[in-house]
Structure 1
Amino acid sequence: MRLLFLAVLRPHTGNAVTAKRVRDHLEAAGHLCILRDVFNFESPAEIADLIAAENLDAALALHLYRGGRLLQGHQIPFGVIFGGTDLNEDANQLEKSEVMGKVLEEARFAVAFTESMKEKAQTQWPHAKGKIYVQSQGIVTTPNAAFDWDTFLQRSDISQSADALHVFLLICGLRQVKDPLYLVDAFSEWHQEEPGVYLVIVGPEVDPEFTREVKAKVKRAAGVRLVGEMPQEDLHAVVKNCFALVNSSVSEGMSAAILEAMDLEVPVLARNIPGNAAVVKHEVTGLLFSDPQEFVQLAKRLMSDPALEREIVANGREYVRRHHSWQVERDTYQSLARKLAPGSEE
């Protein structure tokens, strides 16, 4: 089949990585998958022109509101993949929720990353029961073997001579829902007590106005550094070398950075929100915090308790191997794609 795949494709973001991985799964089954950024289209009419020009048979969208709404009414079968924004934000706005409900009426199938996402979607749109499947993100990490950690520390303006250096890494696009400033004040105070601890925020500048706010805040914060977006292989190498991965988001669908850290045997400290709690079991596969002060307490505990660190690292790696198999994800999407084939039953 000739498939159109719509997704948000900002470079080096979770959405882009997920979309490209799913595209690879579909193309491995022999389909031609044309991946396009939803932000390049303003209306369904533009999608209609693309469908005609490329002689497309079916379509897929990552995010029901951003992408799915552009696929309505074109008389070609399509499937959708829920994003965190769909259920954590857009579903709470009546107009967007109604649009997403209509998308689900037309879609042959929908994919949720977790059981809790599926349950939330079925509660919001009862008519979609029976067409929502659960498939966790598959994880493959590929650290750049040639990456130089010392050079990264220099780029981050981190003193390598600091006693007991511990780098905490926060990976996120600079936008409010990721809340990169949530821990800055508390971390800065901690750094002044223990100069060897640093928080490094890595990610693309998604929201220009908010980015200016983040840069201004970080510039004044001791022990906090901001680094721009990086290629995935380099980012994986940074994760592998840091002391711990941090997530402070207000909402998440499923954080690829958390799963990648687990796969790379790096401990995770994550904000206690539903999307993170679906992946991180407190004191088993990682540590969950509810406020900045608790984050500092847990981070100190992790630094002083090597046995705890070893245990959550081992459990996290095993969790990813059991529940986030790249091969299982491939099999699922290749199977679902058959529902889009001409003559298939809805």
Structure 2
Amino acid sequence: MSSLEQQKPIIKGRGAQKNVRNRFFELSHEMRDDFLEFCAKEGEDADKNKTVYLETFPKTIVNKVKSPDVGMTYSMNMYQGCEHGCIYCYARNSHEYWGYSAGLDFERRILVKKNAPKLLEDLLKKKSWQAQTIVMSGNTDCYQPAEKTFQLTRQCLKVFLKYKHPVAIITKNALVLRDLDLLKALHKDGLVAVNISITSLSEDTRRILEPRTATIKKRLETVRTLSENGIPVNVMLAPIIPSINSHEILPMANQVSESGALSIAHTIVRLNGAIGEIFSDWIKKTMPDRAEKVLHQIESCHGGTLNDSRYGTRMRGEGKIAEQINMLIRLAKQKYFKDKMMPRLNTQLHEQYKEGQLKLF
């Protein structure tokens, strides 16, 4: 890191504090000291820090999930990249496949799949398609800020409703309540479940971990509103990061249970691919007093490395710290969710609605 880069202030409203090299590219670029010095003298910004939306044209929108420990069979993502800017996000690595950096590019270059609703409808109409729950946001958040402009998630929910097909949602944005009318209609036939991600009860922690997400207060209100309308809600306490939010497991579980959540799930943070470098750079700039401690504790959960791709252990970790975290989660489930359970979604109706309406014969 150059001397002038070290002096740069924290980039507000962003998680990553730099772009890292794309592993698929032979060449890379960097901010040179002489360019930074020129910008400083001229009073110009070396980096405009603007979000750009780029339309893409995929041929399919629903993906088969092959990972054995993710907990979903099919997923779909209307957007690639995510303006929420969560520093730990595993989806950052996928941005490299599109030719961008997993760092700031992931938050500022958002790829938009405007044909997603049409692609989804084409799939659900196929005679060969057998109904299984499709999860929106298997990679990036379907209710990120771009959704306010493009409304692709809302359009896709209308398709699911038309064909009576089960859908699950993962989000950390209160914007999901905009579509409460559609969620209620889907719920009448047991076709929807919502997973809300909550990683802390502290706004200070939330603000630096997930800079452009809904506040914790709004997320808890979202859990309550959905639950009051009968829509089943699971809360993702994910990821748990040692010495950042690991001490909040029981208070978080208590709060979300009181708000109406039917269950909780968790993962222990893992920093695969480019995320290790991005996270390490971020924590040394935002939490210099405990950066090394946190990094070492993360390593202790994954066999001495930040990068853990081992099925079966990558989500839950290993070692003493991981054992303590997993034990607290088990205690939280027993204490706050003993008599609660998420329902199975209805896969029986779709075959009768292949044409978008109930078959008479």
TM-score range, shorter chain: 0.3 to 0.5
Query: Structure 2 length as normaliser, TM-score?
Result: 0.36
Query: Structure 1 length as normaliser, TM-score?
Result: 0.37
Higher helix share: 1
